[in-house]
Structures are given as C-alpha cells and as structure tokens.
C-alpha cells in the first residue's frame, strides 16, 4: 500500500481525523508546560529528552564514521574513525533504497539515497575537526531532529503497525519532550555552560571554549535548526490532516 493511501476499513475515520488534527499540537503544549515547571522539566529531561539527546550525539557520530555508543548522560565516542559504523550505515541506507524499490515508494528511495550521501560526506569528505564540531552540536541538534521525526510517526497510515500497537503515542510523547526541551533552551535559556559531573565540559562550553564558536553563533545555529524542524513538522501535519479529512465519509445531501 502506498504511503499516501489509507485503509478504508478503519472503523472511525472521523476519530482519526480529530487525532491527526489535535494530537501533535496538544503534545507540544503539554511538553511546554512540563518544561516551564522546575519539577516537570527535571522529569522531562531525565526520563525522556536526555536519552534522545545522547542518541543525537551517537547518530551524528555514526554518519561521520565513528562507532559511538549512547549512554545515560554520556555518549562513548572513539578517538578515530573505523569501518564498522560506515558499513552499518551504508548497509542500512542500501536496505532502505532496496525496500523503496520493491514497494515502489519513491520517498523511501530518496531518503535512503540522501542518508547514504550524507554518510559518504561525513566519513570521507569532512575532517576530524569538523566531525567533532558536528558530533558535539548533534546533542541538542539531534534531539530536535529526532524529536521531530518521532512526532511525525504519528501520521503513519491507520493500518500501520504503529497505530495497531499504539506505539505512535509513545513516540509522540518522547518526540515532543525532546524537541521542546532542546529548542526551548535556545529560546529562553539559560544556556548550560559549565561542567557536568562525571562527564566534563557541557556541549555549549565545548563549542565555545574549545571549538571556536561565538555565543551568538551557538544560539543562532540551534535556533535556526529548531525553526527548520518546526516548519517541516507543520508541513507534515497539514498534509496528514488534509488527507485524513479527504477520507471522511461524505454526508448525503438533504
């Protein structure tokens, strides 16, 4: 079934339409409320966004050729590139392209091709110093991107396994928490400069003190990425709501 198609056997298309209309905005508002509360922010950071933040470091490292291992509050990154991470990334990208060809989903083929191209650039073209900058930026930056992608999973077709297993609700909550917690830091602050116990210098401190960014560059680059993610999510939300609305049963004329 093409990604734009919906299962007409879904028992309540009106409910699906309302869910697509309100679920993502409500999740973002809820995440903002948690972020505004000291206790809520602590819980949000500790149990949801921190994990996505560390995965953001790791994913960025993988696409730069480093076999990173995400952990709690810290991601283990080797000092040199290796063969394992590039092979896994290229294999995964190739599998995505193949799956797109088999299922005739052009979007999947394009995504696989883009991921493979990014891995090639990250592994072969960019220097070790640039990779270090990207990996460091990829904490909050990756949390925004991955959080946005997790929220987008809510818009899978109604016959998708994520809907049947209700996993899309979990991904939505985690994604909203990760995106809001990371982006709000660079809108309202405070910027987390300083040392993290057991870890070392924070990402902002490393980017400014060790890697040569100015504070203005630091803030603006995170803000621009956050805005780009929001625009992408808004476009996906509008498209998903529009398609779901088209699936509503036509009421007979009076």
Kindly list the distances between the CA atom of residue 111 and the CA atoms of 4, 55, 59, 93, in Å, as whole numbers in the listed order. Answer: 16, 20, 16, 8
| Residue whose C-alpha is closest to residue 153's, from 240, 87, 51, 215 | 240
Q: What are phi and psi of 69, to 5 degrees?
A: -125, 110
Q: How confident is the model at residue 144 (pLDDT cuts 50, 70, 90)?
A: very high
- Tens of pLDDT, residue by residue over 223-236, are 999 999 999 999 99
pTM comes to 0.90
The yes-or-no verdict on residue 253 having pLDDT over 80 is no
pLDDT over 70 percentage in the chain? 94
Whether 210 shows a pLDDT value over 70: the answer reads yes
Question: Which uninterrupted H or E stretch holds 69?
Answer: strand 69-70
Structure tokens at 5: 């198609």
**Token pair 């392209």: residue:** 97
What's the pLDDT band for 11 if we cut at 50, 70, 90?
A: low
The predicted-structure confidence for 124-136, as pLDDT tens digits, reads as follows 999 999 999 999 9
The CA distance from 38 to 215, in Å, is 25
Q: What are phi and psi of 45, to 5 degrees?
A: -70, -45
Task: Please report, for the chain, the start and end positions of each structural domain, with discontinuous segments joined by +.
Answer: 13-246
Examine the pLDDT at 254 and tell me if it is beyond 70: no
Give the model's pLDDT for residue 104.
87
pLDDT category, 251, cuts 50, 70, 90? low
């Amino acid at each position: 079934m093409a990604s734009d198609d919906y299962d007409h056997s879904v028992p309540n298309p009106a409910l699906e339409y309302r869910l697509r209309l309100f679920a993502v905005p409500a999740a973002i508002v809820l995440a903002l409320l948690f972020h505004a509360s000291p206790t809520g922010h602590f819980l949000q950071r500790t149990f949801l966004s921190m994990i996505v933040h560390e995965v953001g470091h790791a994913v960025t490292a993988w696409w730069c050729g480093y076999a990173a291992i995400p952990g709690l509050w810290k991601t283990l990154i080797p000092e040199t590139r290796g063969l394992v991470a590039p092979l896994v990334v290229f294999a995964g990208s190739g599998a995505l392209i193949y799956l797109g060809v088999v299922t005739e989903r052009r979007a999947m083929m394009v995504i696989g091709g883009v991921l493979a191209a990014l891995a090639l650039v990250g592994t072969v073209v960019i220097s070790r110093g640039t990779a270090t900058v990207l990996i460091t930026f990829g904490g909050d930056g990756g949390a925004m991107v991955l959080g946005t992608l997790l929220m987008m999973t809510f818009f899978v077709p109604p016959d998708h396994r994520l809907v049947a297993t209700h996993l899309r609700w979990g991904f939505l909550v985690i994604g909203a928490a990760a995106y809001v917690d990371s982006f709000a830091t660079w809108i309202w602050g405070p910027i987390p400069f300083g040392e993290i116990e057991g870890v070392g210098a924070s990402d902002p401190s490393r980017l400014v003190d060790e890697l040569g960014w100015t504070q203005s560059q630091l803030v603006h680059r995170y803000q621009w990425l956050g805005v780009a993610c929001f625009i992408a999510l808004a476009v996906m939300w509008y498209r998903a709501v529009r398609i779901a609305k088209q699936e509503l049963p036509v009421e007979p004329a009076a």
